[in-house]
Amino acid sequence: MKISISSSAVNDLECIQKYYEEEEVCRVGDRYIVSMIAHNQTLKGNPDIGRVVPEFGAAKGCLSYRSLEFNEYFKVSTIKE
């Protein structure tokens, strides 16, 4: 299973990183980002975990959108046919 990250998610991660830099705790930010990305590996063995997000609708070629919580963030994933 291939896991990819959208450009908007990359932008969000950069904003989180910038916040920690401004707070002068870069190492904390680095660890947090690494943990958040590593958490995505959960999807490889359990692609159907998380709450179904019906408000996103179903895009062509996608089975469903699912929401996976990480601390105060919700990460949305989709499985393509």
pTM, rounded to two decimals: 0.74
* 34-53 pLDDT tens trace: 999 898 888 888 888 888 88
**Is 73:32 a contact under the CB 8 Å cutoff?**
no
Give the model confidence (pLDDT) of 2-35 as tens digits: 788 889 999 999 999 999 999 999 999 999 999 9
Handedness of CA 68, 13, 73, 60 (dihedral sign): negative
With 0-12 / 13-18 / 19 or more C-beta atoms within 10 angstroms meaning exposed / middle / buried, residue 41 is exposed
Q: Which residues does 64 contact at the CB level (< 8 Å), separation at least 6?
A: 52, 53, 58, 78, 79
